[in-house]
A and B are shown apart, each in its own frame.
Chain A
C-alpha cells in the first residue's frame, strides 16, 4: 500500500530564516505531488505541483520554492521566511494522470510558525 510521510510535524522559525519541508511517498511510482497551505480558518491553497522529477509548477508567486530531486520526494523551501508564511503545510500525492482521476492522498501536515 502507499504511504506518505511529511516532516517535521511542527516547526517554529524566526523571520528571515530558511525553510525546508520534506515529503516522501512510498509504494507508488511517478506520483503527482502537491504542496498546499492552509491558513487558520481558511481553505486549501495550492502552492506547487509536480508531475515528474525536476518538473515544478508554481501556482502562487511568493518567496517559497519547491523541488523534486527524486521521483517520490518533494521539498518545499524558502531562503527567508516571512511572518505571512505561517500556516499548516500539506503534502499530497495522486496517481499519474492517465485517464484515471484518482483522489489526492495527504500527509499529516507541518505546522509552521514564523516568529
Chain B
C-alpha cells in the first residue's frame, strides 16, 4: 500500500541556515512525488514535483528535492532559509493509476529563528 512518512513533526532552523526536510514513501511502482507548503490559514501551494528523469528537481522559492529510489526518499532542501519560509510542509505521493487518491504525509512544521 502507498504511504508517506515525514519523520520530523517540527524543525527549527536559524535564518540563513540550510534546511533539509525528510520524506520517505512506500509505493509499488515509479512514484509521482510532490512537496507542498502551507502558510497558516491558507491552502497548500505546490513547491515542486517529480515524475521521472533528473532526480534533482528545482522548485519555486529556491527549494529543491532529490529523489533517491534506493532509499525511497524525496527530501526537500534549501541552502539558505528565510524567515518567510516558516510554514508547514507536506510531502505527497501521486495517485496510482485508476485510484485518483493522493497520499500525504502528516507534515513538518518549520520554525525560523531570526
| Residue from A99, A103, A109 within 8 A of B43 (CB atoms) | A109
User: Number of A residues whose C-beta is below 8 Å from B?
Assistant: 26
Tell me the residues in window 24-43 of chain B with beta carbons closer than 8 Å to chain A beta carbons: 32, 34, 36, 41-43
CB closest chain-A residue, reference B9: A41
Q: Judge whether B100 and A97 touch: CB under 8 Å.
A: yes
Contacts of A111 in B (CB 8 A): 41
Q: Contact string, A19-51, partner B, CB cutoff 8 A, digits 1/0?
A: 000000000000010100000001110100101
Known: A101-B51, A101-B94. A43 touches B107 (CB 8 A): yes
Closest to B93 in A: A101
Q: Give the interface SS of chain A, mostly helix, strand, loop or mixed.
A: strand
Is the pair A44, B95 in contact by a Cβ cutoff of 8 Å? no
CB–CB A107/B106 < 8 A = no
List residues of A whose CB falls within 8 A of some B CB: 6, 32, 34, 42-44, 46, 49, 51, 57, 59, 88, 90, 92, 94, 97, 99, 101, 103-109, 111
Let me know if B106 and A43 touch, CB within 8 A: yes
Within the complex, the shortest CB–CB distance from B93 to chain A, in Å, comes to 10
- In the complex with contacts A43-B106, A97-B100, A103-B49, A108-B95 CB distance below 8 A: no
Provide the bound-state CA to CA distance between A42 and B90, in Å.
11
Chain A residues contacting B100 (CB-CB under 8 Å) are 32, 49, 51, 57, 97
- List, sorted by A's number, 13 A–B pairs whose CB atoms are closer than 8 Å: A6-B43, A42-B106, A44-B90, A59-B101, A92-B44, A97-B100, A103-B34, A103-B46, A103-B94, A104-B44, A108-B43, A109-B41, A111-B41
Within 8 Å by CB of A90, from B43, B49, B94, B97, lies B43
Q: Is B80 an interface residue (CB 8 A)?
A: no
Q: Does B98 contact A (CB under 8 A)?
A: yes
CB pair A43–B95 under 8 Å, yes or no, is: no
A97-B97 in contact (CB<8A): yes
Contacts of B105 in A (CB 8 A): 43
Which residues in B have their C-beta under 8 angstroms from that of A44?
44, 90, 104
> Within the complex, which residue of B34, B42, B107 is in contact with A109, where a contact is CB–CB below 8 Å?
B42
Question: Which residues of the partner chain B approach A92 to less than 8 Å between Cβ atoms?
Answer: 44
